[in-house]
Structure 1
Amino acid sequence: MEYRVLGTSEVKVSAITFGAWAIGGWMWGGADRKDALDAIRASWDNGVTSIDTAPAYGQGLSEEIIGEALQQIQRDKVQILTKYGLRWDLKKGEFFFNSTDNDGKPIDMYRYAGKESVIEECENCLRRLGTDYIDLFQIHWADNTTPIEETMEAIQLLQEQGKIKAGGVCNYTADQMKTAEKVVSLAANQVPYSMVLRDIEKELVPYCREHNKSIIAYSPLQRGLLSGKIKPGYSFNEGDTRSGNRFYTDENITRINAFLAKIRPLAETKGATLAQLVIAWTIQQPGITVALVGARNAEQAIQNARAAEVQLKPEEIMFINDQLAKLELVQP
């Protein structure tokens, strides 16, 4: 496993980091708690020392499961990345969307990052995680009802209090990062990035590389699509938001699988799965510091961790990129 520093902070994380959205169950069609605990432990045993979560993932459940897992792992040997700024327990800020919790009860999600709310959320995160500090505390989504400077004042205070080691953002534009930087030095920006979703290469990647900010890529497997295991007509569990997503139309699944068939021989020559090849490609892209990859059980976690062993030569990356250039997806 390779370990990389987030920006100019003192937080060093594993290049492959455990993404803990799915284990919270919310929007992923449920999850088994014991399997989730086994997955976290297996990840750590195989060099994945970092875990990314959020209060919204199961309305606290993901963080609680991680807190339970931390009881069996030496705290200073693991890095916890969590978030704030999505509230379901109060109607304040900017309405985001309607949803249901893991029990099927309706909830309203709001983007809210007022200073006092950020401080309150940090305390709630610490309690659920059973720890006294968070390695990276990230705003989940921008809140257009609160000045960015106000939000970042809370982050600065929490850093001074030792409750967080570094501050980060998620889903921010380069301009939003510039505004935040007037108050606090950001360590990272967590954004969607995959072989088939590379929008950030236009502006955000150059900005982050120039200013020494890390990019944490989420959904590098495009939520399972780039594993090659999803076929046209795939049936998603109830509550799984992948159903209806533009990437999951039968036509796009067919086209992506045709692309994967072209790079599969390269994976085979390295004794790797398609998913491992995709993860390896991701963490070897310019400007990408971390790839977040979820796992529902120990076997998936082990397979994800082993992607770090796959080394790609420049000409192999060029081959993959050439095949990607030929891939045309159907737009909605």
Structure 2
Amino acid sequence: MEYRKLGNSDLEVSAITFGAWAAGGWMWGSTDRNEAIEAIKASYEVGVTSIDTAPIYGQGVSEEIVGEAIKGFSRDKVQILTKFGMRWDLAKGDFAMKSFKNNGDAIDVYKYAGKESIIYECEQSLKRLGTDYIDLYQIHWPDSTTPIDETFEAVSRLIEQGKVRHAGVCNYNAAQMAEAEKTLNLVSNQIPFSMVNRGIEAETVPYCIKNNKSILAYSPLERGLLTGKIHSDYQFKEGDHRANLAHFKPEFIEKTNVLLAKIKPIAEAHHASLGQLVLRWTIERPGITIALAGARNAEQAVQNAEAINIKLSAEELKTIDDLVNAF
């Protein structure tokens, strides 16, 4: 595994980080708790020391799974990345969405990052994770109802108390990051990035490179689309959010599979899967520090981690870049 520092901090994380959204089941058509725990353990065994989760993933389930999985690990050998600012138990802030818990109960989700809420959320996360500190604490989504300085003053207090080591953001644009920086040093921004979703390259990536902020790319496999295993008549399980996304409409799936067919020979030359090639390409992109990869079971987790073993030549990278640019 390769390890990379986040921003100007001393926090090193694995270039392939375990993304625990699907492990929580929420919006992914449920989960198998034991398989999710085994997936985290298996990825740790092959060098994936960093795990990204959030309270909203299963309304606490994902964090509980992470906490259970890392019980046997030496705490200083694992990095826990979690989030705050999405409440399903408090009707405050920006309304985000109507959703359902894993048991089918309806919930309203709000983006809220008020000071007292953050302090409360941190305590709940620490309990679920079974730890006394969080390595990277990230606001999950911008909250237009709370001043940015109020949000990051609260995070600053948590850092002073030793409950949080470093602060990051998710889904922030460059202007929002600059505003947050007035209050607290940020080390990272977690944002969506993939071969078929490169909008951040226009403004956010250049800002992060210039200001030495790490980018944690989420959905680098575009929620499974870039594995090559999704076809135009794919049937999603009930509760799987992907069924309604534009990237999973038949036309887009077919267009994507044409791109994947063109890069497949490079994957085969490295005895790798398409998913592994895509992950390796992602962390080779300018400004991208790590790629978050989710897994439902141990086999998937190990496969994701093994993407690090692919060594792409400059010529191969250019070939892939040219194809992606033409997409």
Shorter chain as denominator, the TM-score bin is over 0.9
Match of 1:109 in 2: 109
Listed as ranges, the matches of 1:156-167 within 5 Å are 156-167=156-167
Cα pair 2:41 2:70 within 8 Å, conserved: no
Q: Which consecutive residues of structure 2, in runs of 5 or more, have no partner in the other structure? A: none
**Among the aligned pairs, what percent are the same residue?**
61
Which consecutive aligned stretches of 4+ in structure 1 deviate over 3 angstroms post-superposition?
A: none
Q: Please, what is the CA RMSD of the aligned residues?
A: 0.6
Match of 2:36 in 1: 36
TM-score (norm 1): 0.98
- Distance (Å, rounded) in 2 between the aligned partners of 1:22 and 1:116: 28
| TM-aligned CA deviation for residue 123 of structure 1 | 0.5
Match of 2:45 in 1: 45
| TM-aligned CA deviation for residue 325 of structure 1 | 2.4
Summarize deviations over 1:265-289 as a string: whole Å, max 9, x none: 1100011100000000000101000
- Distance (Å, rounded) in 1 between the aligned partners of 2:324 and 2:48: 28
Listed as ranges, the matches of 1:69-218 within 5 Å are 69-218=69-218
Match of 1:330 in 2: none
Summarize deviations over 1:80-102 as a string: whole Å, max 9, x none: 00000000001111111100100
- Partner amino acid for 2:57? Y
- Distance (Å, rounded) in 2 between the aligned partners of 1:168 and 1:43: 24
TM-score (norm 2): 0.99
Match of 1:322 in 2: 322
Cα pair 2:189 2:215 within 8 Å, conserved: yes
- Distance (Å, rounded) in 2 between the aligned partners of 1:47 and 1:309: 12
Where 2:229 maps in the other structure, the secondary structure is coil
Listed as ranges, the matches of 1:248-287 within 5 Å are 248-287=248-287
- Distance (Å, rounded) in 1 between the aligned partners of 2:325 and 2:213: 27
Match of 1:238 in 2: 238
Match of 1:311 in 2: 311
Match of 2:295 in 1: 295
- Partner amino acid for 1:101? K
Match of 2:16 in 1: 16
Cα pair 2:29 2:237 within 8 Å, conserved: yes
- Partner amino acid for 1:13? V
Where 1:132 maps in the other structure, the secondary structure is coil
- Distance (Å, rounded) in 2 between the aligned partners of 1:269 and 1:9: 37
- Distance (Å, rounded) in 2 between the aligned partners of 1:322 and 1:206: 20
Where 1:316 maps in the other structure, the secondary structure is helix
- Distance (Å, rounded) in 1 between the aligned partners of 2:140 and 2:24: 16
Summarize deviations over 1:225-266 as a string: whole Å, max 9, x none: 000000011000111110021111111111110110111011
- Distance (Å, rounded) in 2 between the aligned partners of 1:203 and 1:145: 24
Summarize deviations over 1:97-151 as a string: whole Å, max 9, x none: 1001001000000010001111110010000000000000000000000000000
- Distance (Å, rounded) in 1 between the aligned partners of 2:31 and 2:98: 21
* Number of residue equivalences: 327
- Partner amino acid for 2:238? E
Where 1:235 maps in the other structure, the secondary structure is coil
Where 2:183 maps in the other structure, the secondary structure is coil
- Distance (Å, rounded) in 2 between the aligned partners of 1:27 and 1:295: 14
Summarize deviations over 1:135-170 as a string: whole Å, max 9, x none: 000000000000000000011111111101100000
| TM-aligned CA deviation for residue 182 of structure 1 | 0.2
- Partner amino acid for 2:178? K
- Distance (Å, rounded) in 2 between the aligned partners of 1:324 and 1:66: 34
Match of 1:226 in 2: 226
Listed as ranges, the matches of 1:58-73 within 5 Å are 58-73=58-73
